[in-house]
Structure 1
Amino acid sequence: MPQAGSPASRPGDIAGVLRLLAYLVAAGALMVLDFRGGWLHAARAQAEALVQPLWWLAAQPARLVVGVRENAVSRSQLIADNARLRQALLLTNARNARLQMVAAENARLRGLLDSAARARLDVQLAGVLDVDLDPSRQRLLLDAGSRSGVHVGQVVIDDGGLLGQVIATTPATATVLLVTDPDHAVPVMVARSGVRLVVYGTGRSDLLRLADVPLSADVRAGDELLTSGLGGRFPPGFAVGRVVALRADDSRAFLEADVVPAAQLDRGRDVLLLRGYQPPLPACPPAPAGKKPAVAAPAAGACEPSTAVSMTKAATPTPAVAAPAAAASRPPERAR
């Protein structure tokens, strides 16, 4: 006979077992019904659709963290790439600027040497070390001195025309007095009319002054001025400038004119020092038909055989023309 208080005699335990059995039977019946009819599948799909926003909301913090990290990495990479590309662009621009400068310098050098060859000049190329364009002092410092044969009084030109003359030398450098210096004067002549005048410096690198021009002188705006050769310092025929304006001076007895220099006084890194000058030879008359032109050594009154030969010779620099001994021993004159 069971004792009071034993497990078999507890009514709650029997009810719990019966509920478990009922749950098992209901679960089995639901599984059979779902397998047979599939009606629970639709219920699960609807439940998932209802719960989907909750899943999306729960996943948002993780997505936000991942997005921020990816954006930070992408931005850092873009900044690094941008900096690298900017550096490459600056380097390329610097190289292009250097190449353009070298090309322009080569073009200027070719112009200098070509002009010297065409004019049958014996010249020496020199580089510009320093430029002094003060209104009261117009100078160039060259990298060629007495060791290179440069001497006081030597004429300096470029492919445009007359630059000035050497006024001082050291073993390694030379100082050039420019034609625009206020203390410089150059005897010139008008290429069109042959009128002889004097051009003075003004202290400006872009302007010369033609003073004391007679009212009756045949001088017009646009006339080209060439060295006349008077005074023996500058050889004749070198371009000095171009007249741009004529006006009466303060006394109304003479004219004065503004002249634009022919040489590029404020640009260029190289100049030509004139060592010898040989004026162009006149053209020879054509030889008679069937006769060959005689070939003779150059002498006084010699001429160029033909235009074509003259152009060919102009491409080759001619040997230096020795200055007369008297001129070599003569002391340098004051700047004129």
Structure 2
Amino acid sequence: MPLGTLDGTPPSFFRQGPSALSKLVFFSALALFLMVADVRFEIAKPLRVALATALYPVQWLVLRPVLWAQNSGKYLDALQSSQASEEATRLRLDVQSQRANQVESLILENSRLRKLLSLRERVTTPSQAAQVLYDAADPYTRKVIIDRGLTEGVLAGSPVIDETGVLGQVTRVYPLVSEVTLVTDRDQAIPVLNTRTGARGVAFGDSALRSSGLELRFMAANADVQPGDLLTTSGVDGVYPPGLPVARVAKVERRVDTAFARITCTPLALVSGVGHVMVLKPVTAQIAPRPAAEPPPGPIKKGGKK
């Protein structure tokens, strides 16, 4: 049978309704109508609200893992940043604390140096400044080491003072450093003068190993000495210039079983913790040497000639 004689129309039970083109045109027009109507009259707004309300729980559940991951990352970043900031702040605080301590020590040192310079202006004896390096290693003595020696012209026996009074005396001199025995050393003695009464005496270092005081020895039990009296150098020893403050009387004990009073004094100098001192030239070194004696005249000969 020839193919052209066949009927191409489908049977009645396979009917598809409108054609595809008709459907396309119809739904396109409907979509265009709905869009225009939604823009003009907002007819789809209740539907969108209903759909958004219905889908919100699903969106909330879906977004939870994403938000948790983001918040975890932000928390870790903030934690690391906070730790780094805390460490940097702690380091700055340590630096500031060190600077504050240095400022306090510099203020104290500056104040002592100003007092030492003002004392130097009042003292007419030749002097030179020195710095205390360290305390002597001998626990049975009271000595310090300063950074001036023979190269700077320091002499054995030179008086050493600080900004408040007599500190001690140079006992050993080396090329670059010198050893200073403090007035509180038990082997040290210094002639003093009571500025209130004018009485002279000798102050010795306290014999107690751990004491930092002085004793005014060989003073009669009825001597006019009272607590608070100021003791200065008398200048009779040829070492210390007169008028330098040495100590202040702290306690006077008068006993009937001895002819001498026990007088305890407190040194005015900073015997512990001194940093800068002034080395004076001994008084005897400032005295001009005695002129040489002239030779005796020879015998006179007869005729008026020697």
TM-score, with length taken from structure 2: 0.76
Shift of 1:250: 8.8
Letter aligned with residue 261 of structure 1: P
Q: Which residue of structure 2 aligns with residue 111 of structure 1? A: 115
Secondary structure in structure 2 of the residue aligned to 1:186 = strand
From the superposition, tell whether residues 135 and 199 of structure 1 become closer, same or farther in structure 2 (CA, over 3 Å). Answer: farther
Instruction: Report if aligned partners of 1:133, 1:204 keep a CA contact under 8 Å in 2.
Output: no
Which is worse superposed, 50-59 or 219-228? 50-59
1:88 aligns with 2:92: yes
Q: Which residue of structure 1 aligns with residue 280 of structure 2? A: 274
Which is worse superposed, 33-42 or 213-222? 33-42
Shift of 1:170: 1.0
Secondary structure in structure 2 of the residue aligned to 1:266 = coil
Letter aligned with residue 63 of structure 2: A
The one-character-per-residue Cα deviations of 1:55-102 (angstroms, maximum 9, x if unpaired) are: 112101101111111121122222222322332333334334334433
The one-character-per-residue Cα deviations of 1:230-273 (angstroms, maximum 9, x if unpaired) are: 33333322211001112235945432122110111112321111
228, 231, 239: which one pairs with 1:225? 231
Shift of 1:30: 9.2
Q: Distance in 2 between matches of 1:109 and 1:277?
A: 24
Shift of 1:205: 6.4
Secondary structure in structure 2 of the residue aligned to 1:271 = strand
Q: Percent identity?
A: 30
1:324 aligns with 2:288: yes
1:167 aligns with 2:171: yes
From the superposition, tell whether residues 214 and 41 of structure 1 become closer, same or farther in structure 2 (CA, over 3 Å). Answer: same
5+ residue gaps, structure 2, are 1-8, 291-306
Q: Which residue of structure 2 aligns with residue 265 of structure 1? A: 271
> For the aligned residues, what is the CA RMSD?
3.4
Instruction: Report if aligned partners of 1:276, 1:323 keep a CA contact under 8 Å in 2.
Output: no
From the superposition, tell whether residues 257 and 121 of structure 1 become closer, same or farther in structure 2 (CA, over 3 Å). Answer: same
Q: Distance in 1 between matches of 2:156 and 2:145?
A: 13
From the superposition, tell whether residues 270 and 30 of structure 1 become closer, same or farther in structure 2 (CA, over 3 Å). Answer: same
Instruction: Report if aligned partners of 1:135, 1:204 keep a CA contact under 8 Å in 2.
Output: no
Secondary structure in structure 2 of the residue aligned to 1:183 = coil
- Once the two structures are superposed, the pairs formed by residues 1-336 of structure 1 within 5 Å of their partners are 17=16, 35=37, 41-132=45-136, 136-202=140-206, 203-204=209-210, 206-248=212-254, 251-275=257-281, 322-325=286-289
Instruction: Report if aligned partners of 2:248, 2:267 keep a CA contact under 8 Å in 1.
Output: yes
Secondary structure in structure 1 of the residue aligned to 2:261 = strand
Number of aligned residue pairs: give it.
Answer: 275
From the superposition, tell whether residues 178 and 38 of structure 1 become closer, same or farther in structure 2 (CA, over 3 Å). Answer: closer
Instruction: Report if aligned partners of 1:120, 1:277 keep a CA contact under 8 Å in 2.
Output: no
5+ residue gaps, structure 1, are 1-6, 279-320, 327-336
Instruction: Report if aligned partners of 2:239, 2:282 keep a CA contact under 8 Å in 1.
Output: no
Q: Distance in 2 between matches of 1:49 and 1:241?
A: 96
Rg: which structure is higher? 2
TM-score, with length taken from structure 1: 0.70
Q: Distance in 2 between matches of 1:86 and 1:33?
A: 67
Shift of 1:33: 8.7
Instruction: Report if aligned partners of 2:155, 2:281 keep a CA contact under 8 Å in 1.
Output: no
From the superposition, tell whether residues 146 and 42 of structure 1 become closer, same or farther in structure 2 (CA, over 3 Å). Answer: same
Letter aligned with residue 288 of structure 2: P
Secondary structure in structure 1 of the residue aligned to 2:281 = strand
Secondary structure in structure 1 of the residue aligned to 2:219 = strand
The one-character-per-residue Cα deviations of 1:115-139 (angstroms, maximum 9, x if unpaired) are: 1211323211111111138662100
From the superposition, tell whether residues 205 and 30 of structure 1 become closer, same or farther in structure 2 (CA, over 3 Å). Answer: farther
Instruction: Report if aligned partners of 2:216, 2:264 keep a CA contact under 8 Å in 1.
Output: yes
Q: Distance in 2 between matches of 1:193 and 1:264?
A: 26
Instruction: Report if aligned partners of 2:193, 2:201 keep a CA contact under 8 Å in 1.
Output: yes
Secondary structure in structure 2 of the residue aligned to 1:85 = helix
